[in-house]
Structure 1
Amino acid sequence: MQRRSSLKIFLTVIYALVLREMQGRFGRIRMGAMWTIFEPLAHILAITAIMVYLRGRSIPGLDFPVFLLVSLTPFLLYKNISLKLMSSVEANKALFAYKQIQPFSTFVARAVVEFSLSATVFIILLAAFTWIGFDTRIVRPIEWLGVIALGLVFAFALGLNLVMIVSVLPESKMVLRLIFMPLYLLSGVVYPPSHFPPQWMPLLLWNPFLHFMELIRVNVFPFYRIADGISLEYVIHCTLVLLFLGMGMYRLRRLQLMSL
């Protein structure tokens, strides 16, 4: 019998875990697939309706639903990856009896599932908006994909750190989930930073999600004016720091995670 390499075993485990996650997501919930599409669409419709009611829907040169789609889908993706990683150990602890399955494998599998679902939803909604007649062109697709990919690494690194925090302080899980609620507004998902009071900006610029939202939008819209202080270097540094801390703590606490 041919001996399989460690990489091949790892990829096989990831494939099996991805199938398990997909079955768990959609197999027992009849409306699972519909909710995956409905969640971002509901956000877009509700916020657009509010903006129409308040007569504040227009952002010069942009279609507001497209503006929301471009901002909202990545934010929900990054949030879901971070939070899904946070609960992955508890959800898969029975599988750790198999020596091939490590906690890190469950982290990667959940990130793959979330990215696959979000990418599918984004393509469907982008095609629908194009069919309606909105301008959905992406002016710098390579740079846009690069920022999206960097955000995926950032969300994965953030999720690793959340896993370690929850493993030490289980009662912090609810608090960590609630933190993303104000981040939804403070990250410029609904409105660009130019709509925020100027005195808030020095504090808001500490938020890496705000930088990601602006870097994504400036590579999508041809005449979008990026906010002062937005930096690609800042989010790269945040990503590297979180990744170093998360991987370091995982190495120290891997066995404890498997025994939780």
Structure 2
Amino acid sequence: MALMLREMGSRYGRSPGGYLWAFLEPLGGILILTIGFSLVMRTPPLGTSFLLFYATGMLPFTLYMSLSNNIMQSFRFSRSLLMYPAVTWVDAVLARFILNTLTGLIVMICLLVGVVVVSDTRVILDFSAMFTAVWMTCLLGLGIGVLNCVFLGMFPVWAQVWSIITRPLFILSGIFFLIDGFPKNVQKLMWLNPLAHPIAEMRSGFYPSYRAENVDVVYVGLFGLITLFLGVVLLVRYHRDILNN
């Protein structure tokens, strides 16, 4: 709790607007996509609301990026406190995971409710699909974040390298389009991206006509658990070396 309160104060308490930016950043991205694509397309790939289509794609992606990036920076943020025996690396990682998950879920719920109301679109909500999409996103963010925490501790330049490597995910994860519309051989390659699965599953929770048949919950779960396991094993072995580096 102390680490969570410390991060809340440092991230949102020192900037004008505070927590308002947690809502404005994803909302701005959704509005830009909505305005841009509505000028060149008559209707979105699903339904009639550009706002709802891009919100269901953008918000899971934003939650994943927030979790993975912030967990990756756990040691840098709490390095001075981790020198005390009472504070462990598990505390630092869990504090960032819990805080960013709760923040991301509150932002997601508020914005999706607002989008549904504003777009005046009749939707049949499937809460089980939404829940599945959320836990897949959180597990991926936690697993990738913990593993990258090790790499960043050992190689300080890893943050810039990872940013370059993952930049195409914004396009390849299905935020702008439906992967199902591509040829089968292209689909097979794109579904290898684990982040594409929770985004497709989230959309199936709002569009009853869309069946995300290619979503593989087992694949995403194993991907998240394996990366988390590797990250934990490496942190147990090398966390002291990382702190003393």
Q: 1:237 aligns to what? A: 222
Aligned length: 245
CA distance in 2, matches of 1:138, 1:86: 37
2:136 aligned to which of 129, 150, 158: 150
Residue 135 (structure 1) shift: 3.1
Question: Are the aligned partners of 1:18 and 1:109 in contact in 2 as well (CA < 8 Å)?
Answer: yes
Is residue 102 of structure 1 aligned with residue 88 of structure 2? yes
Q: Offset at 1:44?
A: 0.9
**Cα distance change on mapping 1:56 and 1:185 into 2, 3 Å:** farther
**Displacement of 1:137 after TM fit?**
4.3
- Which segment drifts farther, 209-218 or 77-86? 209-218
Q: 1:162 to 1:136 in 2, by over 3 A?
A: farther
TM-score by length of 2: 0.91
- SS across alignment from 1:32: coil
Per mean C-alpha deviation after superposition, the further-off stretch among 171-180 and 51-60 is: 51-60
Letter in 2 for 1:73: L
Partner in structure 2 of residue 114 of structure 1? 100
In structure 2, the residue matched to 1:46 is 32
Matched, 1:247 2:232: yes
Q: How does 1:210-225 map to 2 (within 5 A)?
A: 210-225=196-211
Distance change (3 Å), C-alpha of 1:234 and 1:136 = farther
Whether the 8 Å contact between 2:30 and 2:54 is mirrored in structure 1 is yes
Shift of 1:255: 1.6
1:128-158 CA-to-partner distances (Å, cap 9, x unmatched) read 2233243374632134213312321221011
1:132 aligns with 2:132: no
**1:101 Cα deviation (Å)?**
0.9
Gaps of 5+ in 2: none
* CA displacement 1:184-243 (0-9 Å, x = unmatched): 11000121113445442222121100122112222332111326x431121122122112
Asked if 1:190 corresponds to 2:176, the answer is yes
Unaligned stretches of 5+ residues in structure 1: 1-14
SS of 2:241's equivalent in the other structure is: helix
Cα offset, 1:116, TM superposition: 1.9
Q: Which amino acid aligns with 1:239?
A: G
C-alpha distance in 1 between matches for 2:4 and 2:46:
42
- CA separation in 2, counterparts of 1:60 and 1:208? 21
Cα distance per residue 1:3-35 (max 9 Å; x no partner): xxxxxxxxxxxx111111100111211133232
Deviates more, 1:158-167 or 1:123-132: 123-132
Give the percent of matched residue pairs that are identical in Structure 1 and Structure 2.
25
TM norm structure 1: 0.86
